[in-house]
């Protein structure tokens, strides 16, 4: 009954209008599992390869090669296997392309297939995906604390500002539902402020407001004003989270903030960010330095790791070995988990568990190119991982993920929401904002 009968890849389209890979895994009794590969814009150099055809058709973005990987190479290796053996299915995929970056098959081919297997297994056992994940990996499910984008920047907004994500978290909320309500108020307050300044100009790739600001810091000031306009005291129920995505504006420890026409070395960037940590209620910061600047990441973590969450995204690329090395070197204290960065669910779980073992936090994350696929809402819940990053509070490829968490909350109950627990080791957990040093 749980034997895989067919694996089929088809081309579908993502939130940016680009082609992407969808995979159907069908079992002998007709049970279906389906998943779609997302796509990043600010990609880490050590990520699994997003295989594109190149050439002029569809701006080089077509995925026919990745579809051939699914239909001609991966499918024959999975047909006849027991769908409940996720580890075995992923090992079979990896054996077909043991290259470090999965550049033979394409990470887009492997991730959609691996997740479709997972979906088919949960359908076969007739359990919601979050519950299936919790059971096979022996986890206690919980509803995650979201990071939600208010302004998009960097590679998601034509580099209008240098910093990529200006987000809020609501660790003081009592339920996931309450996070949504408070986020709605802050998001639209931010839009009102932009409109009053004559600077409302639509939204960026992930649905956050398009960032027409004169400096990167002006976005932070506006975000604080929006939190206040929404009737909240910044740093109490609502805190700020940033994704600096520094690899996008720096190489080898030399950084350039184009908006401000400023060049800086790693030390100057760290000092500038430290100044922001003093001035604004920032509880979490991602990729504060570049993926090729380990000395900078170690220094940043030494100086600020006791007061804020420091997430490695491009820096750790959901890679178990990189997480273990970072923990040993004292770089980062949290990891972003993006299944398509490493290419299979099994390898993502390895990175997640390595992070947990090291005492790191974790944030399951979407990509800037997304679809209606809501697997990550189930993954964050099923792993009890604590946090979920999906983008903004508009556009259905984002809202589909938040809405799925609301449906899960109806089953698990509001008490399953983790609240501020993931930020317990930051100034927010110690209630020491304003006294952060
Ligand atoms: C990130 C993601 C999501 P992208 O950097 O964290 O915001 O962006 O998918 O473009 O890598
Ligand atoms: Mg990032």
Tokens of 31: 């049970």
Q: Is residue 181 part of a domain?
A: yes
Active site residue 178: no
H or E element at residue 150? strand 145-152
What count of residues does the chain have? 437
Q: Which domain holds residue 402?
A: 145-433
Out of 75-84, 119-128, 220-229, 427-436, which region has the weakest mean confidence (pLDDT)?
A: 427-436
Judge if 79 and 190 occupy the same domain.
no
Q: Is residue 136 part of a domain?
A: no
Domain-terminating residue out of 73, 97, 126: 126
Q: Is 165 in the pocket of ligand 1 (CB under 6 A)?
A: yes
Over the stretch 77-94, which tens digit does the pLDDT of each residue have? 999 999 999 999 999 999
Cβ contact 370:397 at 8 Å: yes
Q: Any idea what the CATH number is for the domain that residue 378 is in?
A: 3.20.20.120
- In this prediction, residues 257-271 reach a mean pLDDT of 98
CA 41 – ligand 2 centroid, Å: 10
Mutate to test the pocket of ligand 1, among 211, 245, 318 (most ligand atoms within 8 A of CB): 245
Judge if 251 and 381 occupy the same domain.
yes
Q: Is 365 in the pocket of ligand 1 (CB under 6 A)?
A: yes
Over the stretch 341-361, which tens digit does the pLDDT of each residue have? 999 999 999 999 999 999 999
Q: Is residue 190 part of a domain?
A: yes
Judge if 151 and 102 occupy the same domain.
no
Judge if 296 and 394 occupy the same domain.
yes
**Based on the number of CB atoms within 10 Å of its own CB, is 252 exposed (0-12), middle (13-18) or buried (19 or more)?**
exposed
Q: Is residue 139 part of a domain?
A: no
Quickly state the pLDDT bin for 435 (edges 50, 70, 90).
low
CA 336 – ligand 1 centroid, Å: 10
Q: Is 132 in the pocket of ligand 1 (CB under 6 A)?
A: no
Closest-approaching ligand to the CA atom of 41: 1
| Number of other CB atoms surrounding residue 295 within 10 Å | 13
Q: Is residue 137 part of a domain?
A: no
Q: What is the pLDDT of residue 432?
A: 87
pTM greater than 0.85 (yes/no): yes
Q: Any idea what the CATH number is for the domain that residue 101 is in?
A: 3.30.390.10
Work out whether strand 145-152 and strand 239-243 pair parallel, antiparallel, or are unpaired.
unpaired
**Cα–Cα distance, 302 to 185 (Å, whole number):** 36
Mutate to test the pocket of ligand 1, among 152, 156, 242 (most ligand atoms within 8 A of CB): 156
From the list 102, 338, 401, 436, the catalytic residue is: 338
Nearest-5° angle of CA 418, CA 350, CA 143?
15
Residue 109: is its pLDDT beyond 90?
yes
Domain-terminating residue out of 126, 156, 178: 126
Q: Which residue has the tokens 């090291």?
A: 358
CA 189 – ligand 1 centroid, Å: 24
**Cα–Cα distance, 11 to 37 (Å, whole number):** 10
Judge if 95 and 149 occupy the same domain.
no
Q: Is residue 138 part of a domain?
A: no
From the list 147, 206, 347, 370, the catalytic residue is: 206
């Amino acid at each position: 009954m749980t034997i895989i009968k067919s694996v089929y890849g088809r081309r579908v389209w993502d939130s940016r209008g680009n082609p992407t890979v969808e995979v159907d895994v069908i079992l002998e009794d007709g049970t279906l599992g389906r998943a779609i590969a997302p796509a990043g814009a600010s990609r880490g150099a050590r990520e699994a390869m997003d295989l594109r055809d190149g050439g002029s058709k569809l701006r080089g973005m077509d995925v026919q090669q990745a579809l051939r990987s699914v239909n001609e190479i991966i499918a024959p290796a999975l047909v006849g296997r027991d769908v409940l053996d996720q580890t075995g299915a992923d090992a079979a995929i990896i054996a077909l392309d043991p290259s470090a970056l999965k550049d033979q098959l394409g990470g887009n081919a492997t991730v959609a297939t691996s997740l479709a297997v997972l979906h088919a297994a949960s359908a076969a056992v007739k359990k919601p995906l979050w519950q299936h994940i919790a059971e096979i990996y022996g986890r206690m499910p919980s509803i995650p604390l979201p990071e939600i984008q208010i302004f998009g920047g960097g590679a998601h907004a034509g580099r209008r500002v240098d910093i990529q994500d200006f987000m809020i978290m609501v660790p003081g909320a009592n339920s996931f539902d309450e996070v949504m309500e408070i986020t709605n108020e802050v998001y639209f307050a931010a839009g009102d402020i932009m409109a009053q300044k004559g600077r409302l100009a639509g939204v960026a790739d992930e649905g956050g407001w398009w960032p027409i600001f004169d400096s990167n810091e002006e976005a932070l000031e506006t975000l604080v004003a929006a939190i206040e306009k929404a009737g909240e005291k910044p740093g109490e129920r609502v805190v700020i989270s940033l994704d600096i995505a520094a690899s996008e504006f720096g190489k080898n420890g030399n950084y350039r903030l184009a908006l401000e026409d400023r060049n800086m070395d790693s030390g100057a960037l760290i000092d500038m960010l430290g100044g922001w940590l003093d001035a604004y209620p920032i509880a979490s910061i991602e990729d504060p330095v570049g993926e090729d600047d380990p000395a900078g990441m170690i220094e940043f973590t030494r100086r600020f790791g006791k007061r804020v969450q420091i997430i490695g995204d491009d820096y750790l690329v959901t890679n178990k070995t990189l997480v273990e090395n970072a923990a040993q070197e004292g770089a980062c204290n949290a990891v972003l988990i993006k299944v398509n960065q490493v290419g299979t669910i099994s390898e993502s779980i390895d990175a997640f568990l390595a992070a947990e073992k090291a005492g790191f936090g974790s944030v399951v994350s979407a990509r800037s190119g997304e679809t209606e696929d809501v697997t990550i809402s189930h993954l964050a819940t099923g792993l009890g991982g604590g946090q979920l990053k999906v983008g903004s509070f508009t556009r259905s490829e984002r809202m589909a993920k938040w809405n799925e968490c609301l449906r899960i909350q109806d089953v698990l109950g509001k008490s399953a929401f983790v609240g501020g627990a993931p930020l317990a080791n930051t100034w927010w957990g110690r209630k020491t904002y304003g006294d952060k040093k």
